[in-house]
Every structure is written in structure tokens, then in C-alpha cells.
Amino acid sequence: MKRLVVGIIAAAALGLTGCTATEPEAPTSYVEDAPEGSPVALNGALSVVDGKIVGQHGNPVTLRGMSLFWSQWDPQYYSRETVDWLVDDWKVTAVRAAIAAEGEDSALNHFDREIEKASTVIEAAEANGIYVVLDWHAHRNHPDEAEAFLTEIARRYGDLPNLIYEPFNEPLRDDVDWSRDVKPYHERMVAAIRAIDPDNVIILGTPSWSQDVDIAAQDPVMGENLGYTLHYYAGTHKEELRAKGDAALDAGLVLMITEFGIVNADGDGPIDMASSDLWWDWAEANDISWLNWSISNRDESSAALKPGTPPSGWSAEDLTESGTILRARLRAAAGFDED
Ligand code: MG
């Protein structure tokens, strides 16, 4: 939106100075502005077609990247330099801003602060020509706050090609029903976003911490460019959860893995490489994007960074075992050596 305003001002200035241009130049498209060869330059705006997320040329697009951690706890990584580093060194094609929406020190009570964090990450992704998932990182319904936040993001960035909305990270399991509780929430969020941004992809969460995609598939939200997130932690979730994913795919849902770990569901415990490889094979075979949890320096095994790691310039010694594996996997997927 800012760039459009600049373009209008520039066009007005041309007229005032008596330039020979007869027509104001059309605003440069955001896709053309993306760095040459970047994921956004190559794929443009995403949409949902025939059970796949596709780019503007109709080809399936698989995004691979990293989720940032709860935004209130590791804010130093909600920075341009961290996104730059993840693009330059880790070769991510997407990042996820996990905007905290639980507890007092969150977007529920610090709207402006968290909007600024989200904006920093979205603008950093735009500058690098990668995609960005804007995740309302909640486990419980906060529809008024969610709608205010998501619509402000849509107002600021809904004209970008690289923005993906995730309006409800992980609805809980007990006493939470998809059709009764979560689907109406999403219908409200989708309507609110669509009133401002008619087209960007929206990825919906389901009960049981975004595992019940098979249940959502029986009663999906109606609308354009909608998909569903499937979250897994490889040490805990195995074939049984992939079967739920297969059921959703068979029913025609589009899936994106906006969050997963190669450890246990509590974000800790040993790395399960055998299970992780099965999950990666399944995702890649189905053109399903994946974003790993998380860019964090907490003392837990899902954190990619060791305690004290700065916002960028990470050496091999700064990375945890999980971070080392993810960096290698992302670089390999992008056609680069592990080094
Ligand atoms: Mg849009």
C-alpha cells in the first residue's frame, strides 16, 4: 500500500513539473519488484487450484522454511537481519511469524507492539522475495482480538503476493468441536479478511492442535484460496496422523504444514530422524509446504539455536542438533551444499 501511495505522488509530481509523459505510470507490481530469481519473483501470488497451492503460472509451489518462536519470548528474531540470514544462509523460501495470542504479554494486550513485529517480518520477507505466514498463535478463541489483528494486517499488506494468513494456530482438543466451535470462528475471520483482501491464501487450524484435518474435510469452510494446516511432531506423531492427512487430501483439502518438529510434541526430547524422514517424504510427495518449529534459543531440543545466539551471523557452533539438521535440509532442497 505504501508503494502505491508513492507511485501516485510520483505521478502527480511528473504532472507538476511538465514532464513529457502523457500518462501516469502504473504502479510497479510487487512481483516485478521481488529480487530476481527469488521465490516470489518466480511464483508470484499463490492460489488454491485443484487441491494444490499453485503459483501464478499454475505450477504447484512447495514452500520450505522456519517458524519463528512465540513472539513475546524471542523478539530479537523478529528482525530484518534474522530473515535476511535465513534467506542468505539457510535458503528458506518462507518464514512464519508466530504472533503470540495467549496470556497477558501477548497481542491480546499489546496490539501495537505485536503489529509492529508482524510488520517487520512481513516487510523483511517482501524485501527478500520469500513468502511469509502470519500466524495468530493461539490455542483458544479470541475472535474479537484476532479479527482486529488480522484485518489490520490485511489493510497493511493484503496487496502483497507473498502473505499467507493463519488465523488460528492450534485449537485445543478437549471440548472443542470443529463444526460447532472452530469452523464458525474461521468463517468470521475469512469474511473479515476477504472484505479487505480478496485473494491471499488463508490456512485454517483444526482441533487437537491442528491435527483434525480429516474432520474438517467432512465440513469444510467455503471460500476461495483456503487451505488447512497440519501440525506434527515427528517423535510423537506417526502413521496414524499421516492417515488423517491422507483422508483430508483424498477429500480434496489443501494442506500446508505451517508448524512441525523433529522432536516430541512438547517441543523437547530426542530427535526422531526415522519418523522425520517419513514425514518429509510424505510432504514432498504431496507438494505440501513445511515450516519447522522454531527459530529460538530456548533450552529445548526443537529450538534451532543455542542460548545466547544473536539475531544473525550464526556459526555452526550456534546451531543445535535440530538447527543443524534443518539448515542442511533447507539448503539441500534449494540445491546448495550443506556448507
Ligand atoms: Mg491480496
CATH code, domain with 152: 3.20.20.80
Low-confidence residues in the chain, pLDDT < 50: 1-27
Pick from 54, 321, 134: nearest CA to 329: 321
Taken in order 243, 249, 250, 252, the sign of the CA dihedral is positive
pLDDT confidence of residue 339: 72
Query: Is residue 182, in this structure, part of any structural domain at all?
Result: yes
For residue 142, is it within any domain?
Answer: yes
What distance in angstroms lies between residue 156's CA and the mean position of ligand 1's atoms? 10
**Residue 52: CB partners within 8 Å, gap ≥ 6?**
60, 254, 287
In a domain, 65, yes or no: yes
Quick one: pLDDT at residue 31? Answer: 85
Q: What is the pLDDT of residues 304-313, one digit of tens each?
A: 999 999 999 9
Within 8 A by CB and 6+ apart from 139, the residues are 102, 169, 170, 171, 172, 209
Amino acid (one-letter) located at 209: W
- Over residues 237-248, the pLDDT tens digits come to 999 999 999 999
**Alpha-carbon distance 244 to 182, whole Å?**
18
Residue 220 counted as domain residue: yes
- Separation of CA 305 and ligand 1 centre (Å): 34
Is 170 an active-site residue?
yes
CA of 45 to the centre of ligand 1 (A): 8
Q: How many CB atoms lie within 10 A of CB 332?
A: 13
Structural domain contains residue 129: yes
In a domain, 75, yes or no: yes
Stated pTM of the model: 0.91
Domain span at 254: 61-333
Count up the domains in the chain and report the number: 1
Q: Please identify which of the residues 114, 166, 170, 300 carries the catalytic annotation.
A: 170
What is the Å distance from ligand 1's center to 19 Cα?
Answer: 33
Is residue 317 in a domain? yes
User: What's the gap in Å between 174 CA and the centre of ligand 1?
Assistant: 35
**Continuous H helices in the chain:** 2-16, 30-33, 39-43, 80-88, 111-128, 143-157, 183-194, 207-210, 213-217, 239-250, 273-285, 321-333
Query: Is residue 81, in this structure, part of any structural domain at all?
Result: yes
Of 23, 259, 284, 317, catalytic: 259
